Amino acid sequence: MATVASQPCAGGSRDILWRVLGWRTVASVVWSVVLLPVCTTVFIIFSSIDLFHPIQWLSDSLNDLYSSRVIFYLLLLSVVIIIISIFNVEFYTVVPSIPCSRLALIGKIVHPQQLLHSFVHAAMGMMVAWCAAVMAKGRYSFLVVPCTRTESLDGPAAQTCLNEYHLFFLLAGAFMGYSYSLLYFINNMNYLPFPIIQQYKFLRFRRSLLLLVQHSCMESLFLIRNFCIVYYFLGHVPKAWISTAMDLQIDEQFHRPLDTVSGLLNLSLLYHVWLCGVFLLTTWYISWILFKIYATEAHLFPVQPPFAEESDECLPKVLNSSPPLIIKYLALQDLMLLSQYSPSRRQEVFSLSQPGGHPHNWTAISRECLNLLNDMTQKLVLHQEAAATNGRVMSSSYTMEPKKANSPEETTFLTPKSSQMPRPSMPPLIKTSLFSSKLSAPGVASPLGSPFGSSVMNRMAGIFDVNTCYGSPQGSQLIRRGPRLWTSASDQQMNELSNLPSTLSAEGKTVRQPSVIYSWIHNKYEQIKNFLSKRVLIMYFFSKHPEASIQAVFSDAQMHIWALEGLSHLVAASFTEDRFGVVQTTLPAILNTLLTLQEAVDKYFKLPHASSKPPRISGTLVDTSYKTLRFAFRASLKTAIYRITTTFGEHLKPIPLPSQ
């Protein structure tokens, strides 16, 4: 079971997070601000386009760039970019959140943190739209304008009227900001995908730039269409409220109302609002892409630190501790790279300690890799049993904990039998913030992995099912009901009593039978569940999507892929580079773990709804590679086994392996 980390440990996690990720965040923000004048220049040029007078058009645009007004708006837009970048840092994740039902998706959107994110982005969108409207000049610059109606010389002074064009700009900016935030969580844009092929940051940004501009142009069109529909039905509400609050007149005699079909067909207005949307989305996407590029860049962790005070950042210690999850991902990525391309660092992994002659580095690295692979094996077995019992999960009245090593030198490698036993949970899938000492979520993730920030909300996650699609291996055991994968309705009715929980001792004997009250509550629960399952509207929100459930099982498979590749490459390289034979002592445990995992993967892909072929994913700005992680994991596992067996060949015959 996971325990709450102490304050010094939490402080150490924040320190290593800042040392590794801090400068990357600052660099991405700086480059986003540096590229802002370029985007502003393009916006000013296209907002005052005049093809019939090109020389005057370009000269006026350049004069506007050097004006104090535009410089002030550039500073204001820089503040907006910094705020957007801070939210990118605060909401990133390396494990995508995959809601398995429509109700889970709704619960994900209306989460308090997501609502705050949406509110701030709507306000920032309105700020960007205001700056864009003023820089566009003309009739879009001011919210209050003098009325154009004719007055007699003896009449009162001219009254002020509401400029609906400027109001349309502001509301469109707020709508685009909110829509950006909504799509940010629906499309898992806060997910950080690590590149398969390592490239320079400039090359990665240049490759994404054209796709970014195309995506911004098309998305701005769709957002303008949606906003026009909303404004057509609800546009009179903010217009009447602002005019009443500010005591302004609405001049409909010389300006058509924009909440009509004829008013919304103003091509000049639609063009400028679309251009404003492209400007907003481009600047925000640039900030988002730069942060992803910098955050996922490979980081080199020393295997043997040159100084004792730097031991906290060495690769074996980072892997065996509980750092922020992105640090663990970077460490496993570095392990994969050193195992393939760095013979000198591989020698450090195979080296012995002086004095003592113990393989501490190899012991720590191989133990963590085997733990990750056994975790995946256990997860797949539990998911298969859940499918075999039609998803019925029963709480266990006892818990089992694996035996832990008493010292770092004492290594326990799990065998195929021990891999079926419950193990301690993985490090919580909650990142440590760079900007605050306290996390918005608790320091320990619940078994359900809920994003809610309190224990009450974590209990509610069992109802809304926000981030998980299968039972948690901690604190629950599945009841085996036989070798069949499906049960008929009659079998279910006949075996209702077999689902009642009972407390079992270690020898498997029944100690306590369920009480009458518990049986009555359980029967009522089943009756209510059967009643609700016949309501189409309720099942529309509560029914789980099979594909999403499968994706959730392999949502964190990237670090298991790196563990497979790093471990298999190190074992293969040890055939010629391991002078002390430190790898040979753990080779049986490694092969047993890989073969057990291969058996679990093969059984999993034979389950219903488990597709055997990856879907074709077109190149888009929003990464969806997490949807095909299970196929990459299966391929990496087969390649790892093949790599080891072809390297050792006949030398594997003396190794004891299970007959299965």
Tell me the sheet residues that pair with 394: 477
- Quick one: what percent of the chain has pLDDT higher than 90? 52
- Give pLDDT tens digits for 415-443: 433 344 344 444 444 444 455 443 333 33
Amino acid at 586: T
pLDDT reported for residue 11: 56
The span from the CA of 194 to the CA of 627, in Å, is 14
Rounded Cα distance between 179 and 187, Å, is: 12
pLDDT tens profile 13-40? 778 898 999 999 999 999 999 999 999 9
Q: How high is the pLDDT of residue 478?
A: 38
Q: What is the mean pLDDT of residues 501-528?
A: 67
Which pLDDT value is given to residue 545?
A: 81
C-alpha span between 481 and 422 (Å, rounded) = 20
Q: Decide: 337 and 562 in contact? Cβ < 8 Å.
A: no
Tokens of 237: 């509400």
Which SS3 state, helix, strand or coil, does residue 339 take?
A: helix
Q: Between 372 and 436, whose confidence is greater?
A: 372
| Reported confidence tier of residue 311, pLDDT bands at 50, 70, 90 | confident
Q: Is the pLDDT of residue 658 over 80?
A: no
Higher model confidence: residue 9 or residue 385? 385
3-class secondary-structure state, position 249: strand
The predicted pLDDT at position 547 comes to: 83
Helix (H), strand (E) at residue 510? strand 510-512
Strands (E), 246-340: none
If DSSP states are collapsed to H, E and C, what string results for 543-578?
CECHHHHHHHHCCCHHHHHHHHHHHHHHHHHHHHHC
Per the prediction, the chain carries an average pLDDT of: 80
Beta strand segments in 387-492, E:
394-395, 476-477
Cα separation of 659 and 389, whole Å?
A: 28
Q: Is the pLDDT of residue 7 over 50?
A: no
3 state SS of 161? strand
pLDDT bracket for residue 509 (50, 70, 90): very low
Tens-place pLDDT, residues 320-345: 998 999 999 999 999 999 999 999 99
| pLDDT cut 70: percent of the chain above it | 76
pLDDT tens across 578-636, in order?
998 999 889 999 999 999 999 999 999 888 777 767 767 666 888 888 989 999 999 99
When pLDDT is cut at 50, 70 and 90, the band that residue 309 belongs to is low
Give the pair of three-digit tokens for residue 588: 């049986």
Locus of tokens 């994404």: 208
More confident residue, 353 or 494: 353
* Residue among 478, 239, 489 nearest 381 (CA): 478
